[in-house]
Structure 1
Amino acid sequence: MVCSGCIRNVIVQAGHIGQSAVRSVRLRAIYRSLNANIGLRYTWNRQFRSSVKMMVDTAKGEPIINVLPEKEDDGGYASGGWKGHGGSRAAEFLKEHLFENLMKHPEFMTNTKLAISETYQQTDMNFLDAERDTYRDDGSTASTAVLVGNHLYVANVGDSRAVISKAGKAIPLSEDHKPNRSDERKRIENAGGVVMWAGTWRVGGVLAMSRAFGNRMLKQYVVAEPEIQDQEVDEELELLVLASDGLWDVVPNEDAIALARTEEEPEAGARKLTETAFTRGSADNITCIVVRFHHEKVDPDPPNMEQA
């Protein structure tokens, strides 16, 4: 177990989706410390539970999590984590605006991938504009999961990662944005940048990730265009683990899924992953979101039991 003194701040989010005979399914969520009494609705016949365990190190930048209700009429659920570097302003800005902007996008329900991509990049420009008269140059990663209809959309900028368990198999839904990734290095160099070794591979010898929000001085090379993958939600989809590099540096994908699957409650799964990362010597901030899907078949049109 991790001593309580090791965790400077803990934020827990838990939710439940119940069944309904119609396509409307309601989620009751509790989001302590950031939001309270959030009511969510999602149109899919299954139970859904999620939990977050987080350690905050304000000296290095603040990991932040967020959850937002669906669009008013059509349903949808969004959850994500942002990890700041060089300060917490960028992460705070994303927490405040990213999902809000996404839900307002006119094509959120009809062309979700386009909406996510445009919203990420527009929100990045909004942040840079808001900070243009300051001397700050902080940035942030973002890793989000958006549920629309029966599709799960995972978008990533930076070195956080999303991994699902499908029929017990660990399947990554994102690829870390590292400067030494061959396609990322080529993109950076084509834009006039340079990737060099400075303890690890860094853009311009400064930033150890190839995509991020903010980072004005490196913006020409360090873009906020997300890579997006979508996954159809079926009965084989068991859970989602979305976490910062503080977890993945020491816990492989397969280990993370195996550990999370041993716990029925997502909160317990998130706690186990966080404590495992500490035990294995993670020296970085850890943000961990666990989402568990419970599938139950519901008859939308139950037979009429009245006697003739």
Structure 2
Amino acid sequence: MSNLLAEPVTEKEHDGGNVTCMNSRLFYSWAYSSMQGKRKTQEDAHCVTMNFGDHDHHLMMVCDGHGGSLAAKKVREIMEQHLLEQTFDIHGTKKELHKSYANNLFNSFLEVDKKLAEVEEFKSGKDFSGTTVNLAMICEEQIVCANAGDTRCVVSKDQKAIDLSQDHKPSHSEERERIIRAGGHVTNGRVNGLHGVARSLGDFGYKEGCLDDVNKQLVTCKPDVLVYPSEISTDEFVLICCDGVWDVLTSQEAVTFIHECLIVKKIPDLQTCLDMLLDHCLDKGSNDNMTAAIIALPGFCRVHNYFKKPSSACNIS
């Protein structure tokens, strides 16, 4: 029986706004949009938290669930709280700061997966869902991206797309080799012929007996972490979308679409741009849940003056 609806659910959970940093007074604009689409259930979760913690950090995360919605929802909750409890070395050199962020985000994926395994529904074997996770921590001079799965993070630089993450598909050579070393196989582009992503949180049926060794997990929670030195004069915005978007658009097509909405169509806010992006993907044939989140960086906001007067800091999830 098909898991697709005859008619898509196009109502969107969405929001957006503007914020000034507490310390640097830099101005950012943000938005998210999420749509169930043609799937019978909505299994995505997301988080956009401006002025995250005690410093001028901004957190953006998209979780694309599968096999149910519980893993995505729980990871969103657990990850945000876990990161709030971390200590980042903000007083060292730039190299030390980058290392602090990279280490914290890498370890956070591993620790959050263990915490997820202790949730009653997973511990008792009542729920077998999993979720991809793509998380970006945005600071004044750097963007740190941590990713497990095929949700993708892209930065727009001079209207050109730069991928900050790579999709973890089982058919990719590095993923295939890792899966084989862990005792599995890849058939028809799927782990053991069944699972469509090579890395995720949850999916504990693929991690039995090896929660403490991510290299032995058939579907591993181990993230790739990339530290991107941001340039305020040329970097425009950071965009994270689940694979419902990337199934039908390239990174460059998505970036170009946002710029055209703002510049050509004179759309006054990012939320409307993302709503239009999801509708565009639906028209192009996407059959999946779709979630997109965006943070526009200070130079882009200032030069183009697209966005309205800053509002207070906010946490949206």
Structure 1 and Structure 2 fold alike (TM over 0.5): yes
What is the deviation of 1:250? 0.5
Any residues of structure 2 matched to 1:1-308 within 5 Å, and which? 6-7=8-9, 9-18=11-20, 25=21, 41=22, 43-44=23-24, 46-56=26-36, 59-68=40-49, 70=51, 72-107=53-88, 109=90, 110=97, 111-130=100-119, 131-197=122-188, 201-219=189-207, 220-234=217-231, 235-264=233-262, 265-295=269-299, 296=302
Distance 1:252 1:167 in 2: 17
Judge conservation of contact 1:70–1:103 (CA < 8 Å) in 2: no
Judge conservation of contact 2:29–2:297 (CA < 8 Å) in 1: yes
What is the deviation of 1:96? 1.0
Residues 44, 175 of structure 1: CA spacing in aligned structure 2 closer, same or farther, 3 A cutoff?
farther
Distance 1:237 1:209 in 2: 30
More RCO (CA 8 Å, sep 6+): 2
Partner SS for 2:114: helix
Judge conservation of contact 1:108–1:116 (CA < 8 Å) in 2: no
Distance 2:62 2:71 in 1: 12
Q: Is there any run of 5+ residues in structure 1 with no aligned partner, and where? A: 19-24, 26-40, 298-308
Distance 1:293 1:157 in 2: 24
Residues 269, 191 of structure 1: CA spacing in aligned structure 2 closer, same or farther, 3 A cutoff?
same
The letter of the residue matching 1:81 is V
The letter of the residue matching 2:199 is R
Judge conservation of contact 2:45–2:72 (CA < 8 Å) in 1: yes
The letter of the residue matching 1:282 is S
Partner SS for 1:258: helix
What is the deviation of 1:8? 5.0
The letter of the residue matching 1:17 is V
What is the deviation of 1:106? 2.5
The letter of the residue matching 1:169 is K
Distance 2:239 2:152 in 1: 8
Residues 71, 257 of structure 1: CA spacing in aligned structure 2 closer, same or farther, 3 A cutoff?
closer
Deviation by residue 1:52-71 (Cα, 9 ceiling, x = unmatched) = 11112674551111123545
Residues 61, 108 of structure 1: CA spacing in aligned structure 2 closer, same or farther, 3 A cutoff?
farther
Distance 1:108 1:245 in 2: 33
Distance 2:204 2:224 in 1: 20
Deviation by residue 1:180-214 (Cα, 9 ceiling, x = unmatched) = 110011111111111111xxx11011110000011
In terms of fraction of residues, the more helix-rich structure is 2
Distance 1:183 1:71 in 2: 34
Partner SS for 2:115: helix
TM-score, normalised via structure 2 length: 0.79
Partner SS for 2:286: coil
Distance 2:56 2:190 in 1: 40
Partner SS for 1:117: helix
The letter of the residue matching 1:294 is P
Distance 2:32 2:61 in 1: 10
What is the deviation of 1:6? 3.5
Judge conservation of contact 1:61–1:83 (CA < 8 Å) in 2: no
Distance 2:278 2:255 in 1: 13
TM-score, normalised via structure 1 length: 0.81
Q: Is there any run of 5+ residues in structure 2 with no aligned partner, and where? A: 1-6, 91-96, 208-216, 263-268, 304-317
Judge conservation of contact 1:108–1:115 (CA < 8 Å) in 2: no
Distance 2:29 2:242 in 1: 20
What is the deviation of 1:245? 0.5
What is the deviation of 1:112? 0.7
Deviation by residue 1:128-152 (Cα, 9 ceiling, x = unmatched) = 1222113321101111111134211
Judge conservation of contact 1:9–1:55 (CA < 8 Å) in 2: yes
